[in-house]
Amino acid sequence: MIIREISIGSLQIPLIKPFKTALRTVYTLDVILVKITTDNGIIGYGETAPTVAITGESKESIIKAINYIKPLLIDKSIADFDTILDTLHSCIVQNFSAKSAIEIALYDIAAQNAKLPLYKYLGGDKTYFQTGITISLNDTDTMVKDSLEAIQDGFGSLKIKLGFDYREDIDRVSQIYSAVGNNISLKLDANQGWSPEESVKFLNAIEKISIPISFIEQPVDRYDIEGLKYIKQRTSIPILADESIFSPNDARKLLEEEAVDLINIKLDKCGGISKALEIADICKDYDVECMVGCMLEGAISVGAATHVASARSDTITMYDLDAPMLCSSAPVIGGARFDAPRITLSENHGLGIKDITGIIWI
The DSSP-derived string for 145-178 is HHHHHHHHTT--EEEEE--S-HHHHHHHHHHHHH
Residue 266 is among the residues annotated as catalytic for this protein = yes
State how far the Cα of 57 lies from the Cα of 147, in Å rounded to an integer: 31
Over the window 35 to 74, marking each residue x when it contacts Mg ion by CB under 5 A and - when it does not, the resulting string is: ----------------------------------------
Residue 35 is among the residues annotated as catalytic for this protein = no
242 vs 297 by CB, closer to Mg ion: 242
Q: Which distant-in-sequence residues (6+ apart) come within 8 Å of 261 by Cβ? A: 215, 232, 238, 239, 240, 288
Residue least distant from Mg ion (Cβ): 242
Q: Return the residues of window 231-270 that contact Mg ion according to CB under 5 A.
A: 242
Q: How many residues bind Mg ion (CB under 5 A)?
A: 3
103 vs 243 by CB, closer to Mg ion: 243
- From the CB of 242, what's the least distance to Mg ion, in Å? 4
Packed helices 299-311 and 273-285: angle between N→C axes, nearest 10 degrees: 30
245 vs 311 by CB, closer to Mg ion: 245
Find the catalytic residue in 187, 266, 269, 275.
Answer: 266
Helix (H) or strand (E) holding 318: strand 316-320
Give yes or no for a contact between 324 and 298, defined as CB atoms under 8 angstroms apart: yes
Closest by CA position to 108, among listed 335, 357, 362:
335
Closest by CA position to 127, among listed 322, 329, 352, 294:
352
- From the CB of 158, what's the least distance to Mg ion, in Å? 14
24 vs 115 by CB, closer to Mg ion: 24
- From the CB of 350, what's the least distance to Mg ion, in Å? 29
Tell me, what DSSP letter sits at residue 259? -
Give yes or no for a contact between 85 and 105, defined as CB atoms under 8 angstroms apart: no
108 vs 217 by CB, closer to Mg ion: 217
Q: Return the residues of window 326-345 that contact Mg ion according to CB under 5 A.
A: none
In this structure, are strands 185-189 and 157-161 parallel, antiparallel, or unpaired? Answer: parallel
Helix, strand, or coil (residue 6):
strand
103 vs 242 by CB, closer to Mg ion: 242
- From the CB of 162, what's the least distance to Mg ion, in Å? 11
State how far the Cα of 35 lies from the Cα of 300, in Å rounded to an integer: 11
Q: Which distant-in-sequence residues (6+ apart) come within 8 Å of 48 by Cβ? A: 31, 32, 34, 62, 97, 98, 100, 101, 267, 268, 297, 301
Whole-number Cα distances in Å, 274 to 86, 262, 312: 10, 20, 12
Q: Return the residues of window 170-229 that contact Mg ion according to CB under 5 A.
A: 189, 217
Find the catalytic residue in 35, 120, 161, 232.
Answer: 161
- From the CB of 217, what's the least distance to Mg ion, in Å? 5
- From the CB of 96, what's the least distance to Mg ion, in Å? 16
Residues annotated as part of the active site: 161, 266
Interface residues with Mg ion (CB under 5 A) are: 189, 217, 242
